Amino acid sequence: MSDKLQAVKGMNDVLPADEPLWRRFEESIGSVMRAYAYRRIRTPIVEPTRLFVRGIGEMTDIVEKEMYSFVDSLNGDSLTLRPENTAGVVRAAIQHNLLHEGPQRMWYTGPMFRHERPQKGRYRQFHQVGAEALGLAGPDADAEMILLCQRIWDDLQLTGVSLELNSLGQAEERRAHREALIAHFEAHADVLDEDARRRLHANPLRILDSKNPAMQSLIEAAPKLIDHLGQASRDHFDALRRLLDSQNIPHRINPRLVRGLDYYNLTVFEWVAPIGGSLLTVCGGGRYDPLVEMLGGKPAPGIGFALGVERVLELMREQSIQTESSQCDIYIVHAGEDTVTAAIQASERLRDAGIDVLMHAGGGSFKSQFRRADASGAQFAVIIGPDELARGEVGLKWLRDAGAATGSGRQQAVPLESLADTVIDALLADEDDDEFDLESAADEGVPGDRRIH
């Protein structure tokens, strides 16, 4: 028997090799959220179980069978690892009276937990990026959410992500539709699976959400909620569609789109994309005007979306979205004990100038150090040897083909005191084809991460 320790099934390690992809994604998200003036909120990963029961709804897949819930043995509280974060954000907004200051535009990212059957694109710990706008009732807020999503796809240079749209109207309108829906499904009760039979009278709308292939044609033929909408709901939907048209956002109306939460109303939307040959939802959202009051706050409208990070990353992989894979700009090679102080000194001065430096540690021949330097993806190696150091100099060696214009493998002596300036000039000369913004690091002469814009 092997007792090798393994991660929990369905919960993945994200290894350093995946960092370039994650960083590219996270930088896009950060800049798009700022572009729309959304501010980040961080709420706990563990919340009281009843928050999700009330905030998601009892008759949902998540609450019925996917939650990691446990009793806090110290005080008997019933707690749950968050399966999604809308409920947590709304709870925080109520608890801290955020709406007192006016409407709130917020975003979050982090791990979510659902006890699902693990498969490609479906994990037990996965990540979401989401946004919530509270206190805004109009279709302009809905349009803003959708434009924000579109900008994420554009910023990541993803193609083939398409928008599906529906309106759930208001509770009264759903009641009229509900009777028609129950009648339709009752007439074909033999086709219904166990979940569907259980939900038939409690929440028949949920049946439309089913992924059971045997029920798809029955679902396809079901009465459409959109035909039961009143004037106000239809006006909201039409206004949103006009705004989307004005910004050239194509969308398809999908009358079967009902989404996972019980308290969605009016606008619901999903972004779908072909991943691994099948069409998957990468992002889902909608309006949830009743939720704030349901969770104990003063009534306030809300709309939000959640995007599945792993699915978007998979799409980025499939579409070969370019990422910056080098570990550093400069790899410092040096002679060992005699040069370590100078090597650390030079590394720190380069970092002061905003340059990313990997300083070799652990000794070894120059040859083996150059192998590491090459593997690091650095543009240049800086070589610090005792003889050069005695003259106040170091060596600067071109490592990459990008430097081939001036001859790859080229090396030049550089006075130690002008090393940072020389390196910045050399990196700028080499960077025609990448997105580094060394200029600002050079101009401002301040330390800082110039990859964050």
Q: What is the C-alpha to C-alpha distance for residues 262 and 372, in angstroms, rounded to an integer?
A: 55
CA distance 420 to 428: 12
**CB-nearest residue to ligand ATP:** 308
Instruction: For the CB of residue 128, give the shortest distance to ligand ATP in the complex, in Å.
Output: 5
Using CB under 6 A as the criterion, what x/- string covers residues 46-85 for binding ligand ATP? Answer: --------------------------------------x-
**Cβ count near 8 (within 10 Å):** 9
- Site residue total, ligand ATP (CB under 6 A): 17
Residue among 297 and 308 whose Cβ is closer to ligand ATP = 308
Q: Which is nearer to ligand ATP, 69 or 281 (CB)?
A: 281
CB nearer ligand ATP, residue 319 or residue 440: 319
CB 15, min distance to ligand ATP, A = 18
Applying the rule CB under 6 A, the residues between 305 and 334 that interact with ligand ATP are: 306, 308, 310-311
With a CB cutoff of 8 Å and minimum separation 6, the contacts of 163 are: 146, 149, 150, 244, 249, 250, 251, 252, 269, 270, 271
Nearer to ligand ATP, 284 or 354 (CB): 284
Minimum distance between the CB of residue 171 and ligand ATP, rounded to whole angstroms? 21
d(C-alpha 183, C-alpha 44), whole Å: 43
- Looking at the Cβ atoms of 281 and 326, the one nearer to ligand ATP is 281
Among residues 189, 29, 312, which one has the least CA distance to residue 199? 189
398 binds ligand ATP (CB under 6 A): no
Residues 294/51, Cβ–Cβ less than 8 Å: no
| Nearest distance in Å: CB 275, ligand ATP | 10
Beta carbons of 162 and 281 less than 8 angstroms apart: no
Subset of residues 274 to 293 that bind ligand ATP, contact rule: CB under 6 A: 281-284
Print burial letters for 282-321: b (CB count within 10 Å at least 16), e (below 16): bbbbbbbbbbbebbebeebbbbbbbbbbbbbbbbbeeeeb
CA 312/CA 229 separation, integer angstroms? 33
Using DSSP's 3-state secondary structure scheme, residue 40 falls into strand
Binding mask 102-131 for ligand ATP (x = CB under 6 A): ------------x-x----xxx--x-x---
Amino acid at 402: A
Which positions touch ligand ATP (CB under 6 A)? 84, 114, 116, 121-123, 126, 128, 260, 281-284, 306, 308, 310-311
